[in-house]
Amino acid sequence: MESISVVEDDDERVILLCTDPDSLQPQTPHEQHLLLTTTDILTWNLPNILTFNTLKVQAHRSRLIERSSYFRGLLGRSFSESCLSSITVKWDIGVFIHILKHIYDCVVDVNSENFLPLYEGAFYFGVETLISKCETWFDEVSSPEGFQSAQLPMEDMIRIWKFGLEHASDFIVNLCVGCLARNFVCTQLLDTMA
- Lowest-confidence region among 2-16, 36-50, 97-111: 2-16
pLDDT at 112: 85
State pTM to two decimals.
0.79
pLDDT digits (tens, 9 = 90+) for 127-153: 999 999 999 998 888 877 765 555 677
What is the band of 27 on the pLDDT scale with cuts at 50, 70, 90? low
What is the band of 38 on the pLDDT scale with cuts at 50, 70, 90? very high
User: What are the beta bridge partners of residue 54?
Assistant: 19
Domain limits of the chain? 1-108, 109-194
Bigger pLDDT: 97 or 141?
Answer: 97
Average pLDDT over residues 108-119: 93
pLDDT at 71: 93
